[in-house]
Amino acid sequence: MSVLFSPATLRGLTLSNRIVISPMCQYSAQGGKAMAWHMIHLGNLALSGAGMLITEATAVEPEGRISPADLGLWDDETEAALVPVLAAIRRHSKVAVAVQLAHAGRKASSHVPWEGGQLIPADQGGWRPYAPSAVPQKDGEAAPLALDAAGLARVREAFAAAARRADRLGIDAIEIHAAHGYLLHQFLSPLANRRTDEYGGSLENRLRFPLEVFDAVRAAFPADKPVGIRVSASDWVAGGWDLEQTVVFAHALKARGVDWIDVSSGGVSPQQRIALGPGYQVPFAQAVKAATGVNTMAVGLITEAKQAEEIVASGQADFVALARGILYDPRWPWHAAAELGATVEAAPQFWRSPPHAHKALFGDTVTGAR
C-alpha cells in the first residue's frame, strides 16, 4: 500500500493523501484582490487529486506585497474577492484549502518576475518597504524602513486579522511564511537583522518576532484548525541562518503547537550558493523531523512518484509539497497514483478519463454512459 496516498490528520482536518500543492505566486491580483486568473488557476489545481492546496503568498497588509500584483487579505474587499474562488473549489473538489499568510519585508515593492523583479522606487509607483533593519536586499537599492514598536504591533495584528478573515472564508488551515527572505525570515537571519533591541542580536532575540506572529495567528484561528509554517533551513551563506538555528526555532514552534513545518531554504541574500539536485532540500526536512518529531513537508525538485513515495515511506518527511512540477503536470497526483497502484479522488466529470490499464485509478466509480 502506498504511504504517499495514505490519509493524514492535522487537528480536525484529515487529508486524503500526503501530496501538498505549494504556494506559488501568480502576480495576477489587482489591489490585492483575486481575479479571474485565480479562479482558473486554483480551480485547476483543486482538481489535481492532491490532499491539500495552499494558496499563493497572501499579503497581510498592502506594504507587505512582493509586487503591486500580489494577492492580499487585509480588508473586506480582498476578503470578498476570494469568496467566489473558494465557493467554486468547494463545489467541485474535496481538497483541503490552506492560505499562506505573508509579508515581504524589504523584498516588497518589486516588479513582477517577467518584468525583471527589481525594486520599484517610491517615485515610480512603488513604496518604501519595511524590514527589521535599514539594510537593503541588494547593494545599490534604497534602504527599507526599520520597523519600530508601533510597526511591529501593526504587522502582528495584520497577521492575526488575516487569520480571522481566513476563518470567515472557511479556509481549512494556515501556513505562515517565514522563508525565502521575506519579513519573518529577515528577523531570523543575522544577515538581514542588525537590530540592537530585544528583537535582534542573539538567536533568542531574533526568534522573538516570528514567534510572536505565530502566537498571534494561532490565537486568532480556531483551535481545531491547523497552523503550519514555512521556513528556510539555510541562507546558503556563511554566517547566516542555518540548520542548527532552524532546529532551535522548530523546538520553540513545537512548544506552541505548530502542526507542520514546511522546510525550504535560501532567499535572504543574493550571495547564496545553492547546490541544486533532485530532492536537495529533503535532508533539511528530515533533520527537523528527527530533532523535533514535528510533521514536516519536503520540497524542492521532487518530480518522480517513486521519489515522493520513498520520502514519506522512509520517514524523511510526512508530506511532499510540489510547486513548479505540478504547474507543468497538473495531474501529477493521478499519474503518481497510477504508478504506485493507489487510488485518488476525482470529480465525476473525469471518471471516464483513465486509460484502460488504470481504470481503477478513481476507485469504484461509474464509468459507463448511455
Q: How many domains does the chain have?
A: 1
Is 312 part of any domain?
yes
Q: What is the mean pLDDT of residues 193-216?
A: 98
Handedness of CA 131, 135, 141, 144 (dihedral sign): positive
Is 74 part of any domain?
yes
All three cell numbers of 244, joined, read 542548527
* pLDDT confidence of residue 140: 87
Q: What is the mean pLDDT of residues 44-51?
A: 97
| Rounded CA separation 51/162 (Å) | 23
* pLDDT confidence of residue 367: 53
Is 368 part of any domain?
no
| Rounded CA separation 103/193 (Å) | 15
pLDDT over 80 (residue 369): no
pLDDT over 90 (residue 279): no
Residues of the chain with pLDDT > 90, as a percent, come to 91
- Confidence band of 365 (pLDDT split at 50, 70, 90): low
* pLDDT confidence of residue 130: 97
- Confidence band of 278 (pLDDT split at 50, 70, 90): confident
Lowest mean pLDDT among 137-146, 196-205, 222-231, 310-319: 137-146
Helix axes 282-292, 243-255, angle to 10 degrees: 50
CATH number at residue 329: 3.20.20.70
Print the domain residue range for 279: 8-358
pLDDT over 90 (residue 294): yes
Q: Which of 27, 130, 182, 199 is catalytic?
A: 182
Is 65 part of any domain?
yes
Handedness of CA 144, 148, 150, 153 (dihedral sign): positive
| Rounded CA separation 297/289 (Å) | 9
pLDDT over 80 (residue 9): yes
pLDDT over 90 (residue 277): no
Mean pLDDT of all residues belonging to the chain:
95
pLDDT over 60 (residue 343): yes
DSSP letter (8 states) at residue 139: T
The reported pTM is 0.96
Q: What is the mean pLDDT of residues 107-112?
A: 96
- Confidence band of 356 (pLDDT split at 50, 70, 90): confident
Is 2 part of any domain?
no
Active site residue 182: yes
pLDDT over 80 (residue 370): no
pLDDT over 70 (residue 250): yes
pLDDT over 60 (residue 354): yes
All three cell numbers of 225, joined, read 484548525
* pLDDT confidence of residue 368: 56
Is 1 part of any domain?
no
* pLDDT confidence of residue 168: 98
Enumerate the β-bridge partners of residue 8: 15
Residues of the chain with pLDDT > 70, as a percent, come to 98
Is 369 part of any domain?
no
Lowest mean pLDDT among 151-160, 203-212, 219-228, 345-354: 345-354
Is 164 part of any domain?
yes
pLDDT over 60 (residue 314): yes
